[in-house]
A = this chain, B = another copy of it.
Amino acid sequence: MNVSQPAAPPPPAELIAKFRKIVGDKYAMTDTADIAPYVTEERDLFHGRSPLVLRPGSTAEVSAICKLANEHRIALVPQGGNTGLVGGQTPHHGEVVVSLRRLDRIRDVDTASNTMTCEAGVILQVAQQRAAEVDRLFPLSLGAEGSCTIGGNLSTNAGGTTALAYGVAREMALGVEVVLADGRVLNLLSKLKKDNTGYDLRNLFIGAEGTLGIVTAATLRLFPKPRAIETAFVGLALPAQALKLLQISQGLAAGTLTSFELLSEISVDFSIRHGIDVRDPLQGKHRWYVLMELSSPRDDARDTLEAILTKGLDHGIVDDAVIAASLSQRQAFWKLRDEMSAAQKPEGGSIKHDISVPVAAVPDFIAAADAAVVKLIPGARPVPFGHLGDGNIHYNVSQPVGADGADFLGRWHEVNAVVFDIVLRMGGSISAEHGIGVLKRDELPDVKDKTAIALMRQIKAMLDPNGIMNPGKVL
């Protein structure tokens, strides 16, 4: 994908030497082969280039890098696990990459306060495991958890499958440590749930995709570890039925309802067809499915789940349902869900949307978007699935069978326009959890409140007057 943006001038040799001195020879890479993993990304959608990748080992080194870069107007791209989906972590025009992966210390675990302070480069899965070791839950969970980092999770305000009960990444951070563009370190680390001493600066940097500063550490919230987890796979006729089941579930399970995923028949078919070891948990076929999970501190989750499903069956909402009888069966249900994105690839070109609308509007959104997309491209196959409980649907569209993939992908923006129109009409968001990056940057001014855009620009100019922090992203 081409990204229009003024190219950054490469730093002169003597400046590269200065950067090198900050992190040490071993951690300043200029060799093309060494740099390659930092300038491309897994899906092969974005290809960047960079004269220099820096791997600082401390907040002080990050600070020194920013100070030097700011003085010499050298553009920086902060990077965590390089798993972002919108090109936010890619140096599209020769910027210097600052990889935070070596900042991987867990500075503090406090089980009485239920907090954990992690540096930016801690892998999400490592954070989850550390919490589990002390009998706590760090609930953030997403497909890339084996390689994405806490710093990236916060910079993109990651969502995932547990946001329904625990909130998005923003809500899991009590405090952050940020290096500003000029190298100043803003220490907002805090174990406090309540702190009303002035403006909320923390949330300005969370979700800013590295354009306002570099998140170097965060104090995260821990939760009680659930004792009982119960998972059901449900077949039903319509998204409207799924919405009714969601309401029944919330009424009976409240905060113990930790996941509620809506899956279209075609998304399930693709996963079964192309995923390895993916099986259909139900006997018959259904137009729609729900994968739902309850996590409870006590042993009541099974009773609650059965009560929900019984009510659903009694009201004619649920057509069929199975509760996982073992851990391996639960994992099998989730595998079907987790393989869903990858399973679209063998079906050819896929135009992706990560949208949200008010929960109540999801059924209407899917109906309207399906109609509009098929009208625009006859034979196009909408593959909606996602987090119904959050109103967040990954509304992906696979190419018509037998069509030319490149031709289809060439209509990416056309399809976007049709879908985003409906999203906006319903008071929704064109980026629910993946962010803006470069992928949606040019759409942003059309979909966002004009005054909000103006304020965002003012804030960017205020915090990064020389425009060195991840330039060309978001704005």
Contacts and interface: CB of A to CB of B under 8 A. Distances in A.
A392 B115 CA distance: 16
Contact of A254 (B157, B224, B304): B224
B197 A455 contact: no
A251 B463 CA distance: 42
A113 B452 contact: no
A191 B224 contact: no
Contact of A296 (B159, B254, B390): B254
Interface stretch (A17-25, A95-103, A124-132, A433-441): A433-441
A416 B259 CA distance: 46
Interface in A436-456: 436, 440, 444, 447-449, 451-453, 455-456
Interface string A283-319: 0000000000000111010001001000000000000
A230 to B, nearest CB: 14
Contact of A197 (B190, B196, B444): B444
A452 B297 CA distance: 38
A306 B194 CA distance: 29
Interface string A115-146: 10000000000000000000000000000000
A200 B203 contact: yes
Q: How many copies does the complex hold?
A: 2
Nearest to A169: B196
Contacts of A391: 113, 191-194
Contacts of A359: 112-114, 191, 193
Interface in A250-284: 250-256
Interface stretch (A30-38, A44-52, A179-187, A366-374): A179-187
B114 A193 contact: no
B201 A115 contact: no
Given A250-B224, A448-B198, A204 B204 contact: yes
Interface string A396-416: 000000000000000000000
A331 interface: no
A171 B171 contact: yes
A458 interface: yes
A382 B341 CA distance: 59
B432 A358 contact: no
B197 A448 contact: yes
A152 to B, nearest CB: 13
A455 B243 contact: no
A329 interface: no
Contacts of A432: 192, 194-196
Contacts of A203: 200, 202-204
19 contacts: A110-B360, A157-B196, A167-B171, A190-B427, A194-B433, A195-B356, A197-B429, A197-B447, A198-B452, A199-B204, A199-B474, A204-B204, A253-B297, A254-B256, A254-B296, A254-B297, A255-B255, A300-B300, A459-B459
